[in-house]
Chains A and B, each alone.
Chain A
Amino acid sequence: MDNMQPIPNQSETTPFPEGEALKNQIQWRHRQGLAWRLLFIAALLIAISSLIALLYNILNDSFGYVVVINKVDPQRLALDVVEEQILNTANTVSSEDDFELANGIANDSNGIGFFGIAYYQENNETLKLLAVDGVMPNAETAASGEYPFTRPLYLYTADAVLQNNQAANIFLNYLLNNVNSEIETVGYFPATSAAYAAAQQRWLSANPGLGLQSGQWVSIEPDGMAGTIRVVGSSTVFPLTQHMLEQYQEAGFAGNFGNESVGSSAGLAAFCSGQADFAASSRPIQSGEIEACRNNGRFPLEFQIGTDALAIVVNNQNSALNEVSTEQLQQIFTTATTWNEVNEAWPAQAIQRYIPGADSGTLDFFAEAVYQTSLASLPKDDLVRLLATNISTGRGRALEREQRFYESALVFEDPATWNEVCAAPAGERPSGCIAEPRTQEEVYDLLLAEVIQPDVVKVYNLQNSLLNRTAIATEAAALYPNGEITFRSWLSADFITDPQSSTPEFAGVRTAIFGSLWVIFITILFSFPIGVGAAIYLEEYAADNRLNRILQTNINNLAGVPSIIYGMLGLAIFVRVLEQLTSGAIFGAVESTASANGRTIISAGLTLGLLILPLIIINAQEALRAVPNSLRQAGLALGATQWQTIWYHVLPSALPGILTGTILAVSRAIGETAPLVVVGASTFITVDPSGPFSKFTTLPIQIYQWTSRPQAEFRNIAAAAIIVLLAMLLSLNASAIILRNRYSTRSI
């Protein structure tokens, strides 16, 4: 070294650095170590972050908000059932004209009915208003919401109407200006100030030409305005719109108007098909109606113009009734026939009911508010009836043949045909002939899939769902006004227990889970004993000669062969050559002769078994090699044979190691996709495998297949299936490890 320092306090030179040089040299060695250490930490960080990224990706797709559009609103179906019950009760008069109802009750001392409170105000000499749950309907209880049957009254129109019909546009402006001062004279109550402001804002947005900012307002004089205005709809809202239209005319409107009281549903239908400028409604518009409007190019705009407190009224002569409870109302309008059945203090006379008709929003509101039914809680009979009215008979027959609805009655199928079909031999009989009838829950699921048909139209990932909740809500409301936004866990109990389906909303992984378990079972059954046996031979018995060395090298090389090649091998040997065996034909276990081929669970299991055989052999050899020789000598020295020594001492000692190796190998087999694709796993199968000769699919195949679908929702269920696969893998491993630990502690 040319720059070597003289060593201080050292009389003779040594071949080692001393003093400052020593310090530097040691520091340099430490720095070298530090560099390596940093490199290792970086490697660890990369590993951890890729693991986190993996989990993040899976979880991100497995949960999140979705926008669901139901073909039919489930609440609507439930209300249909209740309304049907109400309408079909004896002694019930129904009419879309509320005047008729008011007159009916006025002339019938046992009459009871309900309608908008305006109709009561008009007939308050002959009618008597009842308190509900102790609250009388009036301006205060309606405004505070204390009265249980408080509801908003709406006027619906569309941008197209407001732009093309100036008379209608100015009428709406006039109405919004004056409704609050006029509404009390009709008998209703003003809308909340928020709803009122929202209605004004909506009108302003529809008239951008005025150049007004939000919060500003303008009242336009209708002086000399000509044209035609047509309002159709709710009989409840009718007096209000009629009054406002008359006022509008008085204020100078020179054109004509038509106002019809046909019920909310009929009104909305007429409006959506373009027959009216406004729809008056005593209930909010439903998703199906929005859909119908949009299909006609009308995007409905909602204006709340007042509040009603639904009046429950009886004849003025009825001295017994002053108030009712919600429960009593339920009985009065359906199950009870005389008053004293509801309340002993009431007269023993038949109840006469006067109610709005099926098209009326008032009946919808009453049914919803009083009966509070949800579809899922309806009895099976009602659900079956709903199904029967909403699907075709042909589809119904198919469903009934799959699984019947009642033990002793047929819903869709003709009894004669049914008996004929079920007389067929066991293999050709439809499953419905012997299967247990469907439960209420199953009928509900059927209704969901066949009638309601929820369609996920938009999915949001978990990150967005958690961080941008409000943005998602506004976007969804704008894009899908008739959609329902809910938080959906794609991984759910139904997802695990449902079979495969072509609609992602109803698809599950049950078939794939069973397929995976069966295949792995066959794989273990095949490869574990053979692998361990081969390892014992090679380690304990085989002499160290050329042949055995060649065998060993081959096994080591086989462990590195790409799995697709094993798939080719499996296809050639198990599927093709051994077809008679693997299809179960020679065992007579073929499920249907037409599709009998070797693409079965047993072929897949054997292929995966071959794939992991070298891994198991190598791992088991490693474990056997780790058993100390002294143990073998101890056994032999006692006069044990070689096999006794291996069986009682060597194998138990090596077993934890063998099992660890096997677990790793089996884990690999569970996740394999490529060889199974080649061997011929079914990509779409809804029947659970029933044995080793069944057609099958496995979780990785299912995931692979879903990820290649174009619809976004398949990505979500693929992510959920990955979680299922990981969970299955971890729990199989955990149980193997527990088994191993138990075994190794017990053998002590």
Chain B
Amino acid sequence: MKPNTSFSNGSVAVEAKEMQVYYGSFRAVKDIALKIPTKHITALIGPSGCGKSTVLRSFNRMNDLVASARVEGQILYHGSNIYDTHVDPVEIRRRIGMVFQKPNPFSKTIYENVAWGARINGFKGNMDQLVEESLRQAALWDEVKDKLSQSGYSLSGGQQQRLCIARTIAVKPEIILMDEPTSALDPVATLRIEELIQELKKQYTIIIVTHNMQQAARASDYTAFFNMDGDRAGYLVEFDNTNELFTNPKNELTEQYITGRFG
């Protein structure tokens, strides 16, 4: 069955077409066709090893860092394939930011953590203002405004993750990729990040990989369910409006997965 890859309203932020990702000779994901809606939250779920992180990383060419990784097919961003030879991954990453599973602030001051990305990307405006604005958007300003010159590592895990989000926002991306951003956090910190993501979708397109189905259900607008084939290659099973997917899955596998019968 061909998976549903469309959504009813709004425009497409980024689109994967016939995408295959190989690690050496091993095909990790196959035949991905996916349209990510602009200024919405799209969750990628699926069992371990199904390639959802690989798909996510393909959107801003972070897979380039893995020497053996190779992407076939297309990822269209503003109408052009980001894997075209003339496209510089540095520019793609400036437009498509990323937040990682474990908080990874730089070992610099809180201020520098936010300002650095903007500075190297040639930001010409008022840096203090940008830092404050970014930290406010990341709902961290009130907690750190008096200790901007302290190390980023002096913060708690949840604060560090919000700092990483603030840092990503500071370079004004269009899309923010989040790779299980709350998996290393406690429930309270997780909730705060989820609330933050809801705020952020007003300005940014967000793609989030999560292991937590409740999180996908309550925090996302759209959900893509991935599964793994017999050859261990991941593929997209179903993509739909989150409510629709969780209440009325079209695919039997999806239903089995969301009801906890496998995965």
When distances are taken between beta carbons in the complex, the residues of chain A under 8 Å from B168 are: 637-638
A636 at the A/B interface (Cβ < 8 Å)?
yes
Q: In terms of DSSP, what is the predominant structure of the interface of chain A?
A: helix
- The distance from the CB of B70 to the nearest CB of chain A, in whole angstroms, is 14
Task: Name the residue on A nearest B116 (C-beta).
Answer: A648
When distances are taken between beta carbons in the complex, the residues of chain B under 8 Å from A637 are: 60, 62, 93, 97-98, 100, 168
When distances are taken between beta carbons in the complex, the residues of chain B under 8 Å from A639 are: 90-91, 93-95, 97, 117, 120-121, 171
Task: Name the residue on B nearest A747 (C-beta).
Answer: B107
Whether A747 touches B93, Cβ cut-off 8 Å, given contacts A630-B102, A638-B171, is no
Interface contact A644-B60, CB-CB below 8 Å: no
B7 at the A/B interface (Cβ < 8 Å)?
no
A230 at the A/B interface (Cβ < 8 Å)?
no
Instruction: Give bound CA distance, A747 to B112, whole Å.
Output: 11
Specify which of A636, A648, A652, A653 is in contact with B62 (CB 8 Å cutoff).
A636
Q: Annotate A595-630 by CB proximity to B: 1 below 8 A, 0 otherwise.
A: 000000000000000000000000000000000111
Interface contact A633-B100, CB-CB below 8 Å: yes
Interface contact B104-A640, CB-CB below 8 Å: no
When distances are taken between beta carbons in the complex, the residues of chain A under 8 Å from B67 are: 543-544
A-B contact pairs, 27 of them (CB 8 A): A543-B67, A628-B104, A630-B104, A631-B104, A633-B98, A634-B104, A634-B105, A634-B106, A634-B164, A634-B167, A636-B93, A638-B93, A638-B94, A638-B117, A638-B120, A639-B91, A639-B93, A639-B95, A639-B117, A639-B120, A640-B90, A640-B120, A644-B120, A648-B106, A648-B120, A748-B107, A748-B153
When distances are taken between beta carbons in the complex, the residues of chain A under 8 Å from B60 are: 637
Q: Interface residue count for B (Cβ, 8 Å)?
A: 29
A641 at the A/B interface (Cβ < 8 Å)?
yes
- The distance from the CB of A643 to the nearest CB of chain B, in whole angstroms, is 10
Task: Name the residue on B nearest A634 (C-beta).
Answer: B104
When distances are taken between beta carbons in the complex, the residues of chain B under 8 Å from A641 are: 90
When distances are taken between beta carbons in the complex, the residues of chain A under 8 Å from B90 are: 639-641
Instruction: Give bound CA distance, A428 to B153, whole Å.
Output: 66
Interface contact B107-A652, CB-CB below 8 Å: yes
Specify which of B102, B107, B116 is in contact with A638 (CB 8 Å cutoff).
B116
- The distance from the CB of B19 to the nearest CB of chain A, in whole angstroms, is 20
Specify which of A632, A649, A747 is in contact with B65 (CB 8 Å cutoff).
A632
Which residues between 96 and 152 of chain B lie within 8 Å of chain A, taking CB atoms? Answer: 97-98, 100, 102, 104-109, 116-117, 120-121, 151
Most chain B CB within 10 A, of A632, A633, A639, A640, is at A639
- The distance from the CB of A611 to the nearest CB of chain B, in whole angstroms, is 33
- The distance from the CB of B163 to the nearest CB of chain A, in whole angstroms, is 11
Instruction: Give bound CA distance, A631 to B65, whole Å.
Output: 13
- The distance from the CB of B99 to the nearest CB of chain A, in whole angstroms, is 8
Task: Name the residue on A nearest B177 (C-beta).
Answer: A637
Most chain A CB within 10 A, of B93, B153, B164, is at B93
Which residues between 46 and 63 of chain A lie within 8 Å of chain B, taking CB atoms? Answer: none
Task: Name the residue on A nearest B170 (C-beta).
Answer: A638
When distances are taken between beta carbons in the complex, the residues of chain B under 8 Å from A649 are: 106-107
- The distance from the CB of B215 to the nearest CB of chain A, in whole angstroms, is 22
Interface contact B97-A638, CB-CB below 8 Å: yes
- The distance from the CB of A467 to the nearest CB of chain B, in whole angstroms, is 56
Instruction: Give bound CA distance, A640 to B164, whole Å.
Output: 15
Task: Name the residue on B nearest A748 (C-beta).
Answer: B151
When distances are taken between beta carbons in the complex, the residues of chain A under 8 Å from B105 are: 634
- The distance from the CB of A229 to the nearest CB of chain B, in whole angstroms, is 97
When distances are taken between beta carbons in the complex, the residues of chain A under 8 Å from B91 are: 639
Whether A748 touches B117, Cβ cut-off 8 Å, given contacts A637-B60, A638-B94, is no
- The distance from the CB of B59 to the nearest CB of chain A, in whole angstroms, is 11
Instruction: Give bound CA distance, A629 to B60, whole Å.
Output: 17
- The distance from the CB of B127 to the nearest CB of chain A, in whole angstroms, is 15
- The distance from the CB of A656 to the nearest CB of chain B, in whole angstroms, is 11
Instruction: Give bound CA distance, A644 to B117, whole Å.
Output: 10
When distances are taken between beta carbons in the complex, the residues of chain B under 8 Å from A632 are: 65
Instruction: Give bound CA distance, A637 to B97, whole Å.
Output: 6
Q: Annotate A645-665 by CB proximity to B: 1 below 8 A, 0 otherwise.
A: 000110011000000000000
When distances are taken between beta carbons in the complex, the residues of chain B under 8 Å from A635 are: 106
Further 12 A-B residue pairs, CB within 8 A, beyond A638-B93, A639-B117: A632-B65, A633-B104, A634-B105, A637-B100, A638-B121, A638-B167, A638-B171, A639-B90, A639-B93, A640-B117, A748-B107, A748-B153
Interface residues of A, Cβ cutoff 8 Å to B? 543-544, 628-641, 644, 648-649, 652-653, 747-748
- The distance from the CB of B121 to the nearest CB of chain A, in whole angstroms, is 5
When distances are taken between beta carbons in the complex, the residues of chain B under 8 Å from A631 are: 104, 106
Instruction: Give bound CA distance, A295 to B121, whole Å.
Output: 92
Task: Name the residue on A nearest B152 (C-beta).
Answer: A748
Task: Name the residue on B nearest A640 (C-beta).
Answer: B120
When distances are taken between beta carbons in the complex, the residues of chain A under 8 Å from B151 are: 748
Minimum-distance CB pairs A-B, first 10: A639-B94, A638-B117, A637-B98, A748-B151, A630-B104, A634-B104, A639-B93, A640-B120, A639-B121, A644-B120
When distances are taken between beta carbons in the complex, the residues of chain B under 8 Å from A543 are: 67
Interface contact A630-B65, CB-CB below 8 Å: no
Interface contact A653-B107, CB-CB below 8 Å: yes
Instruction: Give bound CA distance, A379 to B109, whole Å.
Output: 64
When distances are taken between beta carbons in the complex, the residues of chain A under 8 Å from B104 are: 628, 630-631, 633-634
Most chain A CB within 10 A, of B94, B120, B151, is at B120
Instruction: Give bound CA distance, A544 to B168, whole Å.
Output: 31
When distances are taken between beta carbons in the complex, the residues of chain B under 8 Å from A629 are: 65
Task: Name the residue on A nearest B97 (C-beta).
Answer: A637
- The distance from the CB of A268 to the nearest CB of chain B, in whole angstroms, is 82
When distances are taken between beta carbons in the complex, the residues of chain B under 8 Å from A748 are: 107-109, 151, 153
Most chain A CB within 10 A, of B67, B95, B116, B121, is at B116
Instruction: Give bound CA distance, A653 to B105, whole Å.
Output: 12
When distances are taken between beta carbons in the complex, the residues of chain A under 8 Å from B153 are: 748
Instruction: Give bound CA distance, A653 to B104, whole Å.
Output: 13
Instruction: Give bound CA distance, A562 to B168, whole Å.
Output: 51
Q: Annotate B168-180 by CB proximity to A: 1 below 8 A, 0 otherwise.
A: 1001000000000
Instruction: Give bound CA distance, A543 to B64, whole Å.
Output: 13
Interface contact B98-A747, CB-CB below 8 Å: no
- The distance from the CB of A421 to the nearest CB of chain B, in whole angstroms, is 65
Instruction: Give bound CA distance, A110 to B259, whole Å.
Output: 133
Interface contact B65-A636, CB-CB below 8 Å: yes
Instruction: Give bound CA distance, A747 to B91, whole Å.
Output: 28
Instruction: Give bound CA distance, A631 to B164, whole Å.
Output: 11
When distances are taken between beta carbons in the complex, the residues of chain B under 8 Å from A747 are: 107-108
- The distance from the CB of B174 to the nearest CB of chain A, in whole angstroms, is 12
- The distance from the CB of A636 to the nearest CB of chain B, in whole angstroms, is 6
Instruction: Give bound CA distance, A544 to B117, whole Å.
Output: 29
When distances are taken between beta carbons in the complex, the residues of chain A under 8 Å from B171 are: 638-639
Instruction: Give bound CA distance, A630 to B99, whole Å.
Output: 11
When distances are taken between beta carbons in the complex, the residues of chain A under 8 Å from B120 are: 638-640, 644, 648
Instruction: Give bound CA distance, A721 to B62, whole Å.
Output: 58
- The distance from the CB of B135 to the nearest CB of chain A, in whole angstroms, is 16
Task: Name the residue on A nearest B118 (C-beta).
Answer: A638
- The distance from the CB of A116 to the nearest CB of chain B, in whole angstroms, is 87
- The distance from the CB of A548 to the nearest CB of chain B, in whole angstroms, is 12
- The distance from the CB of A715 to the nearest CB of chain B, in whole angstroms, is 51
- The distance from the CB of B262 to the nearest CB of chain A, in whole angstroms, is 31
Task: Name the residue on B nearest A629 (C-beta).
Answer: B65
Interface contact B65-A633, CB-CB below 8 Å: yes
Task: Name the residue on A nearest B91 (C-beta).
Answer: A639
When distances are taken between beta carbons in the complex, the residues of chain A under 8 Å from B164 are: 634
When distances are taken between beta carbons in the complex, the residues of chain B under 8 Å from A630 are: 100, 102, 104
Instruction: Give bound CA distance, A641 to B65, whole Å.
Output: 12
Instruction: Give bound CA distance, A629 to B67, whole Å.
Output: 14
Task: Name the residue on B nearest A631 (C-beta).
Answer: B104
When distances are taken between beta carbons in the complex, the residues of chain A under 8 Å from B117 are: 638-640
Instruction: Give bound CA distance, A634 to B107, whole Å.
Output: 11
Task: Name the residue on B nearest A639 (C-beta).
Answer: B94
When distances are taken between beta carbons in the complex, the residues of chain B under 8 Å from A648 are: 106, 116, 120
When distances are taken between beta carbons in the complex, the residues of chain A under 8 Å from B116 are: 638, 648
Interface contact A634-B100, CB-CB below 8 Å: yes
Instruction: Give bound CA distance, A747 to B94, whole Å.
Output: 25
